[in-house]
Amino acid sequence: GTIMGVGKYLKERRENLRVVLADPHKSNLAGIFETARGDVHRGNAILERVQNHIEEEGGGIQVEGAGKRELTKIMKMDDQVLKYVDEAVAIHDFDAFDACREIERRYGFRIGGSAGLNVCACRRIAERCVDEEGRGGGAVLVTMLCDDGNKYKSKIFNDKWMEANDPRGRRKWQRCPGRGE
């Protein structure tokens, strides 16, 4: 709901603004979005990749409050799928968690998983903007750090939980200093 409300508000005030959905890698929203926008091949490929992730890693979406298996009512506003969204970017849940832990290490405050998704998506868009030619004056990127990470201290900020649950098979994340129960 947040992306629809914020997207509507901002687009009513600035036409050329682009809204990007940061979607967990086991969520169907990015695939549904692409299919609804007419790129059925890409949408189906994303949905197949989601199913493969679920089969390989087991379980569902780890980022609480983000991603969906199907559209909610507000996501079908005026009979359009994700009307105020211009792009959907799939992010691995544990990449989002890594971003949360990095923000804490570098800046000293905790963000939750959905904010970690947004950070990762924003970084991906920033990298693409740098790579694109003809950008002229550049781009202004804004993201929302929409949830407090303190409620995830037994999950995202717990070294043992991360080690036991990270399906990527590598220790990309770094230990949180002074933590680890």
Tell me the C-alpha distance between 145 and 33, whole Å. Answer: 23
In this predicted structure, what is the pLDDT of residue 63?
Answer: 84
In this predicted structure, what is the pLDDT of residue 179?
Answer: 34
CA distances, 17 to each of 5, 34, 126, 142 (Å): 14, 19, 15, 11
pLDDT for residue 96 is more than 90 = yes
Confidence at 181, pLDDT banded by 50, 70, 90: very low
Residue 80 structure tokens: 């359009």
Q: What is the pLDDT of residues 100-157, one digit of tens each?
A: 999 999 999 899 999 999 999 999 988 888 777 655 567 788 888 888 888 888 899 9
pLDDT for residue 27 is more than 80 = yes
Tell me if 113 sits within 8 A of 152, measured CB to CB: yes
Q: What is the pLDDT of residues 48-93, one digit of tens each?
A: 999 989 888 888 888 887 877 776 676 777 777 677 889 999 999 9
Q: How many CB atoms lie within 10 A of CB 15?
A: 6
In this predicted structure, what is the pLDDT of residue 44?
Answer: 92
Phi, psi of 91 (to 5 degrees): -125, 135
In this predicted structure, what is the pLDDT of residue 133?
Answer: 61
Confidence at 178, pLDDT banded by 50, 70, 90: very low
Which of the pair, 179 or 133, is modelled with greater confidence? 133
Q: Is residue 22 left, alpha or beta, with left meaning phi > 0 and alpha meaning psi from -120 to 50?
A: beta
